Amino acid sequence: MRILSIVCSAVLALSACSGSPPQQSSGMPTGGGAAINGAGATFPQPIYSKWFAEYNKLHPDVRINYQPLGSGAGIRQLLAGTVFFGASDQPMKDDQMAKAPSRVLHLPTVLGAVVPVYNLSGISEELKFTGPLLADIILGKVNKWNDPAVAKLNPAAKLPPTDIAVVHRSEGSGTTFVWADYLAKVSPDFKNTVGVDSSLKWPVGVGGKGNEGVAALVRQTPGALGYIELVWALQNKIAFGAVQNAAGKFVKASVDSVTAAAAGAAANMPADFRVSITNAPGEEAYPIASFTWLLFLENPQDKTQARIMAEFARWALTDGQKYARDLGYAPLPQTVVDMELKALEQIRLQ
Amino acid sequence: MIRRFFGRRDEVLFRSATGVFALLVIAGVIAIGVALYRESMLSIREFGFQFWQTDVWDPVAGEFGAKPFIWGTLYSSILALLISTPIALGIAVYVSELCPPALRRTLVFLTELLAAIPSIVYGLWGIFVLVPFVRQIEVATPEWMKVIPLFSGPPLGVGMLSAALILAIMVIPFSSAVAREVLRSVPQAQREGAYALGATRWEAIRMALFYARTGIVGAVMLGFGRALGETMAVTMVIGNNPQVTWSLYAPQYTMAAVLANEFAEASGDLYLHALVEIGLVLFILTLIVNVISRMFIWSMAAQRPRVFRRSALKAAA
C-alpha cells in the first residue's frame, strides 16, 4: 500500500514538472520513481544513510540509494556515468577531473578525524605524540616504546622496552589517505620515502582489514600502535592519544577540535573546495582531520535528478548538519556552509 | 516412420542443446581470460614479464610487481595442504573403514558443517581466537629456535602460520569428503580378497588407500584449488604485508587478498590494471595447478593394473 502511494506520488511529481522535455523524464534510468543512485566512500556512510532516511521522511517521493564501495570506486562510477553522484574522502586529482564529462563540484558535507591508538599495559594516562614522532614510528625509525623521543613527550609514563608493532589498514582507505597526508606534511622523510595515497607501501607493520581489523589487532598485540577513525573510536570507546597541532599544543580529537580545524582552514578555502585541512592552524585545532565530499557533475544530463539532489544538498548543509554530532562527525563551520550554498548554484539545472 | 523421424530430431536437438551448454563453460573460461587480459593491458605493456619477478608494490610511485603475492599464495596453500592432508585422510579412513555406523552419521554431518561456514566467519574466529593462540606459541618459542629462518621475527600472531592453519581447517571438509567417497567406492571384493590372503586390518586399509590413490590425489588437489582462491579469511589473519620470506611468523600477502583489499579504492589506471593483472596471474596459476593435477591423475590411472597387482601382493605378504 505504501509502495503504491510512493509510486503514485512519484508519477504525480513527474507529470507536474511538465516543463522539461518528455524524452528526458522517460530516459531516466531509474524508472518512474525518483530513486537516485550514488556510490563512494565508506567513511561517511552512517551519516549519509541517516540523511537519506530523514530526507525521505520529509519528501516521501525522493529515494536516494547509496552504495559504500570506496572513494576510488565512487569516482570511477561517477566518471563512467553509472551513478548520479559520487562521494570521496579525498579530493579528485586533476587528471581524474579531466576525464569527467563536465566539471565536478566537490561539496564538503561533514568532517572526520583519524586518531592514533595503542596498546601498552600498565600505562594509565593517555600518551602524547608529535607528528614527526608518529612519522618516525611508522617509518620504523623509532621502534621501542622507551625510545627517548617517546619518553621526552611523556615524562610521567613508565614506558616499557617493548617493540612497537605498527598496525595499518590493509585495504585502500580514505583513513589511510588522511593519515599519510598529515604525516607527509610534518615529515619530509615520510613524504619522500612513502608518499600520500589511499594504499601505501608500508616500510614496517601488519595490515588489518577495516577499522575493526586494526582495532582488533591493536587490542590483541602488546606494544601495538595503529590509527582508526575518530567515529569508530568513539562508538567503541577505544582510548587514543593526543597529537601536537601546528600551534604547538597537544590536542585530543573530538567533534569540537575537528570543527576548530575546519574553521582554521576555512580562511583560505579554495573556490573548488579541494583542500586538505591536516595540520590546520588554530590553538584548538586537531591536526589529523579532513572533509569528506559529495561529488556532482556541474552539468548533469538528468535535470530532474539534478534539481532533487541540489535541493537535498541544500538541506544536508543546513538542517542535516544537526545529525552529525551524534554520529561522531564534526559539522561544517558556518563560513564553509555559506560558501557551499553559493557554489551549489553552479550546478546547471536547465 | 513419422515417429522415427521425430525421434531422430529429438536426438539431434538433445545432443546439440547439451553440447551448447558444455561449450558455454569453455566460452566462459575464455571470456574471463580475455577480459582480464584486456583490462590489464596497461600494466602488461608497462612491466612485461618483470611483473612476475618484481617484489615492489608501491601504489604511490606506480611500481607494481606480483612476486610477493604469488609467493604468499603458493606458500600458504602448500602449507595448508601439508597440515590438512594427513588429517583429512585420517578422517576419511576412520569414517569409511573403522567407525561404528552410529557415529559415522554424526561425524560426516559435522565435517560437512565445517564446509558450510562462511569464510568471513572463519576470519572473525581467526582474529579473535586463532591469532591470539598463535601469538602465544610465537612468544613461547625458545631463542634457539628463532635462529631458524622459519621461526624468525617478532611475535605478531597475524602472519603466515595463522593463515596456513585457518586455510587447513577450511580445506579439511572438502578433501576429507571426497577422499571418503573415493574410499567407499573401493570394491568390497578387494578388501575381502586382502583379508582372505591373511592381511591385517591395517594392511587391508593400506591396500584400499593404494587402490583409491588417484581419487585421493584428486581430493587433495581440490583442496589446493580452494586454498589458492580463498580470500576473506586469509586476508583477515595473514597480516597483509607483501614480502618474500620463509618465516612462518612474518606477515605476508596473497593475490586474492590484495585484490579484495585494494580494488575498491584503487585510483589511477595503471594501478587498476596492475590489480587486474594480479587477477590474471591468479587465473593462470589456477589453470596450471589444475592441468598438472589432471595429468598426475591420468598418468596414475593409466598405470593402475600393473602396480596394483604388485602392491596387493606386498600388502598380503
From first to last of its 350 residues, chain A has per-residue pLDDT tens of 344 444 444 444 444 343 333 333 333 344 445 689 999 988 899 999 999 999 999 999 999 999 988 888 889 899 988 999 999 998 998 888 888 888 999 999 999 999 999 998 877 778 999 999 999 999 999 999 999 999 999 998 889 988 899 999 988 888 999 999 999 999 999 999 999 988 899 999 899 888 888 998 898 888 999 999 998 888 888 889 999 999 999 999 999 999 989 888 877 888 889 999 999 888 999 999 999 999 999 999 888 899 999 999 999 999 999 999 988 899 999 989 999 999 998 888 87
On whether any CB of chain A is under 8 Å from the CB of B58, the answer is: yes
Chain A CB contacts of B240 below 8 Å: 170, 206-209
The answer to whether residue B18 sits within a structural domain is: no
Q: A194: which 3 cell numbers?
A: 612513502
Has residue B33 been placed in a domain? no
Q: How many domains does chain B have?
A: 1
User: Of B69, B113, B86, nearest to B234 (Cα)?
Assistant: B69
Who among A70, A75, A206 is closest to B156 (CB)?
Answer: A206
Rounded-to-integer distance, Cα A209 and Cα A217, Å: 10
Half-sphere exposure for A170 (CA within 13 Å, toward CB): 31
Cβ separation B266–A72 shorter than 8 A? yes
Q: How far is A219 from chain B (nearest CA, A)?
A: 10
Query: Which chain A residues are within 8 Å of B59, Cβ to Cβ?
Result: 172, 197-201
Which DSSP category does A164 fall into? P
CB B267 to CB A198 under 8 A?
yes
CB contact under 8 A, A70 and B265: yes
**Is B287 inside any structural domain?**
yes
Chain A residues whose beta carbon lies within 8 Å of the beta carbon of residue B156: 165, 206, 221
ipTM above 0.90, yes or no: no
Q: Directed axis angle between helix B304-316 and helix B188-196, to 10°?
A: 40
Residue B27 lies in a domain: no
B250 touches chain A (CB under 8 A): no
Which chain B residue has the Cα nearest residue A165?
B156
Q: Is B239 on the interface with A (CB under 8 A)?
A: yes
Comparing CA positions, the residue from B59, B28, B32, B53 lying closest to residue B275 is: B59
Cα–Cα distance measured from residue B317 to residue B315, given in angstroms and rounded to the nearest whole number: 6
Residue B140 located in a structural domain: yes
Q: What is the pTM of this model?
A: 0.79
Domain that holds residue B216: 39-316
Give the orientation angle of helix B213-229 with respect to helix B201-211, to 10 degrees.
70
Question: Which residues of chain A lie closer than 8 angstroms to B236, CB-CB?
Answer: 209, 213
CATH of the domain at B52: 1.10.3720.10
As given in the structure block, the three cell numbers for residue A332 are: 561544517
Nearest to A195 among B60, B235, B260 (CB): B60
Q: How far is A165 from B250, CA to CA, in rounded Å?
A: 12
Task: List per-residue pLDDT tens for chain B, 317 residues long.
Answer: 555 555 677 888 888 899 999 999 999 999 999 999 999 999 999 998 889 988 889 888 888 999 999 999 999 999 999 999 999 999 999 998 888 888 998 988 888 888 899 999 999 999 999 999 999 999 888 888 888 888 988 888 899 999 999 999 999 998 998 888 888 888 888 888 888 999 888 898 988 888 888 888 888 888 898 899 899 999 999 999 999 999 999 999 999 999 988 887 787 789 999 999 999 999 999 888 888 878 877 777 666 554 444 555 455 44
CB contact under 8 A, B59 and A165: no
- What is the distance in angstroms between the Cα of A134 and the nearest Cα belonging to chain B? 20
Q: What is the dihedral of CA A182, A183, A187, A190, to 10 degrees?
A: -140
* Contact between A163 and A150 (Cβ < 8 Å): no
B153 contacts in A (CB within 8 Å)? none
User: How big is the A-B interface in CB pairs under 8 Å?
Assistant: 94
Within-domain flag for B292? yes
Do residues A251 and A286 make contact, with C-beta atoms less than 8 angstroms apart?
A: yes
CA distance B225 to B34: 21
Distance of alpha carbon A130 from its chain centroid, rounded? 23
Contact A220 B132 (CB under 8 A): yes
Q: Tell me whether residue B9 is in a domain.
A: no
- Dist. CA B61–CA B48, nearest whole Å: 18
In a domain, B134, yes or no: yes
CB atoms within 10 A of CB A49: 14
Interface check B56 vs A, CB under 8 A: yes
